[in-house]
Structures are given as structure tokens and as C-alpha cells.
Amino acid sequence: MLSAQSLPLIEATLPLVGERMPEIARNFYGRMLTAHPELFDGLFSRSNQKNGSQQQALAGSIAVFATHLVQNPETTPEAMLSRIAHKHVSLDIRPEQYDVVYKYLFEAIADELSDVITAEIAGAWTEVYWLMAHALIKMESGLYSGLASDKPLAPWAVVKKETAGTDAVTFTLEPADDTPVSPALPGQYVSVTVRMPDGIHQVRQYSLSAGTATTRVFTTKLDANGEVSPALHRDVQVGDTLILSVPCGDITLDQGDGPLVLASAGIGCTPSASILRSLVDGASKREVLVLHAESNLERWALRDQMSEDIALLETAELELWLEIPSAGHHEGFMSLENVTIPDNASVYLCGPLPFMRSLRSQALAAGVPANHIHYEIFGPDLWLAGV
């Protein structure tokens, strides 16, 4: 709960802090990573630092959290915090690291707001930070306590590497040591740590596309501007070992028997594929509508797996949108205009942010309740801040 003393100060300074938060975030990361360059090894992404997405994620998360406290002083934004907590567990973030972040973040705030900062304003924003930090630490503690072991990260051996579509690769892995394996839920992801040519380890999260109790399967699209996917495609071979996290992510298949709509675009099909496989394995009778969008049929990374699983489910149907036309499929970008969404359906979205923004708006306009629409974003819900 935000204190009565801090509430008016946060409310008054939020517009200015929000406006300057991108500069604060850049200042913060510059200070922290200069003082602790070792954090680039296995934790912070060099690619995301270069393209600014990491700074945007921090700035957006703090701004959304502070805005929520002003509007709802007695609660916290649980959905955003849950997503961050799962991401932190996948990186093995620990409570003491919040002290390091606090030191450099508030040095950056003092620097960027030197023209207006007072002890009272600094104290109010310190309260906001620690309310957010302690809420995350509590969530993360609960997630850690539910794991099969006290090691969120463990070595896994690559046992299969297969081409998937025209620009993706599917990796199948098995445990490389005796670390107890935490079960994966349909829709979850793992962090994958890869050694770069210069010896630095970089991490990327990938949704699991299939797997069993003792295997992990993920599919990665080649990102020419990134570091991890090129290294995976180029350097990692069968027999190599990768460090994988426990499965994380709270956007998972609900356990009811109501209808499902799985809408994806591009490599966003991976969690849909995982959900479909779990439905097949459970001989599900649920009504399932699979909606997928691709540039062309050949590029659909998990085309065979998903098509086979859809055929095995008695009440599953597929609608496909292609930018390059193919007989029997929709042309262009996905639209729900002529799609009948079953009553009381749970809708799962995965794909690029503009795709999910558009599909969420269309689903709401079609009468789907907001709490029936599920999605995973590896970054802040900036576009939901006003909803």
C-alpha cells in the first residue's frame, strides 16, 4: 500500500518521471553495467541493450506500477508483476540483486531529475521501488519453493536438431545431469543460455513447442539482428549442452472444458503447438479453433506438428491467413471479421506485439470478455496501461 505521505508526491511527479523515465533507464543501465560488466555474462542481453528494448521494459514497468498505485493505492498490478516474476525466476534472480538495482537506479534518478528532486520526492519514489521489489520477491519466493529442486538452471543435452519451415530450427533436449526436472505446463517457456564466440553467455526465452516429462522441445526463428538465435542455428549441434531454466510463464492452458481459440502469427505458433499437443495427449474433447497467420505456407515452422494434432482432435478446426495466397486459405493479415468465436471461449494470443494488439481489440469488439483473453509479452504492457 502506498503511504498517504507519498501518494500526492507520486501523483504530482508521475508525469515528469514518466516523461524522463527512458533517460533514467539508459542512465541506470549505463551506470550498473559499467560497474558490473559481469552482468552481461548470462543475465543481461547485449542485443536488447543496443536496441533499447531492455531500457523500455524497465521504464514501462515502473511507470505502469506507479500509475497503478496512484489509481489504486491499496493494490498492486498482479498480472504485470506475475509476468515479471516468472521472467526473473527463469533468470535465477535473487533478492540481493534488488539492492544492486536500487543503488544504480536511484543514482540515475538523482542525476536525471537534479533540477527538481527533493528528499521528499526521492523518498516517495524509493517507497514505490521497494513496494514493487518486495511484491516481486514474494512472488518469486513462491515460484522457487514450488520447483522440483533448488536449481532453476541446469544443463540439458541436445539430442535432435531439425529444420522447421524456411527459417527456424527445432531443438530437442534431455537432462545432462541428475538435477530433478520440474514439469512444464502447456504455453510455458524456458530461458536458454548460449555461449557466444567471444566467450560471453547470452540468454533468450523460448516457448516450449512440445516435450515430455523428461524432454524439452523449443523452436527458434533466425533473428539476424540478435545474438542467441544465430548462435543456436550456426554453432549448436547434437551432443552439445545448453543451460536451460525451469519452465516459466503464467499464461498456460486452463483446465476447464470450455472452447479454445488459439490465435498466432509467425513463430508465435510455438505455445499454440504446445497446447495442441497437450490436448491430443489428454484425448481432449474440447472445441478448438486454431487461427494462424504466415507470410507463406512454407515458412510455417510447426506446420506438420500442428496440422497432425488438429487432425487428431475431433472438434478442432484450422483457419490460415497467408500474405502470399494459397488455395483454400485467407489472403492477407488475420482478421476476426468473419470468424465465429464460440461462446465462453478462452482466447490465447501469441505473436508480434502489433498482431496481439490488433487481435485483442478485435476479440473485445466481438464480445469476448477481457479476462478470457490471454497473452504473453516479454516486455511491459505499455499499450494496456490505460485499459
| Single-letter residue type at 156 | W
3-state secondary structure of 86: helix
Q: Are 20 and 113 in contact (CB under 8 A)?
A: yes
DSSP states of 9-67: HHHHHHHHHHHHHHHHHHHHHHHHHHH-GGGGTTTS-HHHHHHSHHHHHHHHHHHHHHH
Give phi and psi for 126, each to the nearest 5: -65, -40
Q: Choose, from 29, 112, 129, 140, the residue flagged as catalytic.
A: 140
Give phi and psi for 318, each to the nearest 5: -120, 135
298 noted as active-site residue: no
| H/E stretch holding 244 | strand 241-245
Query: What's the rounded Cα separation, in Å, for the pair 186 and 211?
Result: 10
Could you tell me which residues come within 8 angstroms of residue 119 by beta carbon, excluding any fewer than 6 positions away?
none
Query: What's the rounded Cα separation, in Å, for the pair 138 and 249?
Result: 16
Question: What is the end-to-end Cα distance of the chain in Å, rounded?
Answer: 21
Query: What's the rounded Cα separation, in Å, for the pair 58 and 378?
Result: 11
Query: Alpha carbon 219 to chain centroid distance?
Result: 15
Q: What is the b/e burial string over 101-128, where b = at least 16 CB atoms within 10 angstroms of the residue's CB?
A: eeebbbebbeebbeeebeeebeebbebb
HSE toward the beta carbon, residue 51, CA cutoff 13 A: 8
140 noted as active-site residue: yes
Q: Are 221 and 167 in contact (CB under 8 A)?
A: yes
Give phi and psi for 296, each to the nearest 5: -155, 165
Q: Choose, from 98, 129, 206, 348, the residue flagged as catalytic.
A: 98
Alpha helices by DSSP H, the chain: 6-35, 46-51, 53-71, 78-90, 96-112, 119-145, 228-234, 269-281, 303-312, 353-365
| Single-letter residue type at 107 | E
Find, among 85, 65, 77, the residue nearest to 138 by Cα: 85
Residues designated as active site: 98, 140
